[in-house]
Amino acid sequence: MMLRAAPFLTLVVLLLTPLAAPQPSATGTPKLEMGQFPDAVHPLQAPVKTGFALTMSCLSDTPGRAAHAVVWVAEKPTWATATVSPGDFAAPEGCTAPTTQLSGELVVTANDQAPAGRPGRITLMAAQVDPTGNHTTSAMVNVTASYFSIIDTQLAETIKIVKPGGTVTFPLKLTNFGNDRTRVNFSVGDVGEGLTVGPLPDIMLGSKQQGDSNISQDVPIVVTAAGGVGYLNRVGVINVNSASFSAVDGTVGDSSQHSFVVTTKGLDAPLGFAAPLVALTLAALSHGRSSKKP
């Protein structure tokens, strides 16, 4: 009987050493220093700007070529555009010092999806290749969008007819397209003769940019027409004003005016006058018939 040697297993262990992220060189370059934004950026308006300083090495990796570095935007909020100017930097000609400092500008514009009061982070990266290798660094700054209000109004009807003593309702739908929770209040302006407007309490609207769902609400404008004596055909105009404010700090938003036309039309007579009025009407009709007989 032949004996076979058992196969042997060779265990190979691979030691994986992660690559170190590029770091500044021994001279501490490149190095970025960020300024701060003096004001919040207003969506849909002029951009905001801040400066930054880049410290770079004067040592070039290519003989006869000035030392070179690049700066770019590595991170920004989804609701913003961010650009740097310039993006390419070269050491001044004849630079003999170990390092030199150059300046640039960061420009940020926010769109209408920017939530008010929530800082967004912007990260700049800088890279330079010098005789000791490739080196990078980064710097961060926050940008915050300011409050804006856009209240959309929809009116299904603006003209109605009502009987004396009756009421009509105009449904007014408000939608907040602004970037924060908004309080809307109402005031009644001009009111036509014989018309009154019911109470109009303040309403609170959420903001889609803040993740709210209650961004719309229906507001009933209830108008009551006064009675009178006899037949009425009276046209009146009502103006209702709305104004919006930030629910967080009271910042003034926008305002608008809504106009309605109400016609009070029909026969109306108080109870004490009903009998004489009916008698006069019947007498007039009877006289009209008798006058037509030959």
Following DSSP, what letter does each residue of the chain receive, concatenated?
----PPP----------PPPPP---TT--SEEEE---SSPBPTTS--EEEEEEEEEES--SSTTS--EEEEEEEE--TTEEEEEE-SEEEPPTT--SSEEEEEEEEEEEE-TTPPBT--EEEEEEEEEEETTEEEEEEEEEEE-BPP---EEEEES-SEEEE-TT-EEEEEEEEEE-SSS-EEEEEEEEEE-TTEEE-----EEE--GGGT-S--EEEEEEEEEE---SEEEEEEEEEEEEEEEEETTT--EEEEEEEEEEEEEEEEE--HHHHHHHHHHHHHHHHHHHHHT--
Kindly report the average pLDDT of the chain as a whole number.
85
Domain-embedded: residue 292 = no
Domain-embedded: residue 129 = yes
Is the predicted pLDDT of residue 291 greater than 90, yes or no? no
pLDDT at 8: 30
Q: Are residues 178 and 139 in the same domain?
A: no
Q: Are residues 190 and 121 in the same domain?
A: no
**Distance in angstroms (rounded) separating the CA atoms of residues 155 and 239:** 13
Give pLDDT tens digits for 167-222: 999 999 999 999 999 999 999 999 999 999 999 999 999 999 999 999 999 999 99
pLDDT at 62: 80
**Contact indicator for 102, 56 with CB cutoff of 8 Å:** yes
Last residue of a domain, one of 122, 143, 164: 143
- Sheet bearing 195-197, strands edge to edge: 151-155, 167-176, 216-225, 195-197
| Cα-to-chain-centroid distance, residue 217 | 17
pLDDT at 144: 93
Domain-embedded: residue 193 = yes
**Distance in angstroms (rounded) separating the CA atoms of residues 112 and 177:** 9
- Structural domain of residue 243, as residue ranges? 151-269
**Distance in angstroms (rounded) separating the CA atoms of residues 227 and 265:** 10
Last residue of a domain, one of 117, 143, 169: 143
pLDDT at 162: 96
| Residue that is written with structure tokens 């019911």 in the block | 198
Within 8 A by CB and 6+ apart from 63, the residues are: none
Within 8 A by CB and 6+ apart from 187, the residues are: 200, 240, 241, 243
Q: Are residues 189 and 259 in the same domain?
A: yes
Last residue of a domain, one of 96, 124, 143: 143
Domain-embedded: residue 217 = yes
**Contact indicator for 258, 172 with CB cutoff of 8 Å:** yes
**Distance in angstroms (rounded) separating the CA atoms of residues 88 and 127:** 10
Residue 252 or residue 280, greater confidence: 252
Is the predicted pLDDT of residue 4 greater than 70, yes or no? no
Q: Are residues 136 and 169 in the same domain?
A: no
Give pLDDT tens digits for 143-170: 999 999 999 999 999 999 999 999 999 9
Q: Are residues 162 and 131 in the same domain?
A: no
Average pLDDT score over residue span 13-26: 42
pLDDT at 246: 96
Residue 14 or residue 128, greater confidence: 128
Q: Which of 13-27, 74-88, 203-217, 259-273 has the lowest mean pLDDT?
A: 13-27
Q: Are residues 130 and 210 in the same domain?
A: no
Q: Which of 29-33, 124-128, 212-216, 258-262 has the lowest mean pLDDT?
A: 29-33
Q: Are residues 45 and 138 in the same domain?
A: yes
Domain-embedded: residue 291 = no
CATH classification of the domain holding 122: 2.60.40.10
pLDDT at 38: 78
Query: Which of 21-35, 59-73, 84-98, 199-213 is modeled with the greatest confidence?
Result: 199-213
**Contact indicator for 263, 233 with CB cutoff of 8 Å:** yes
Domain-embedded: residue 73 = yes
Give pLDDT tens digits for 86-129: 999 999 988 888 899 999 999 999 999 999 999 999 999 999 98
| Residue that is written with structure tokens 């008010």 in the block | 116
Domain-embedded: residue 285 = no
Give the chain's domain count. 2
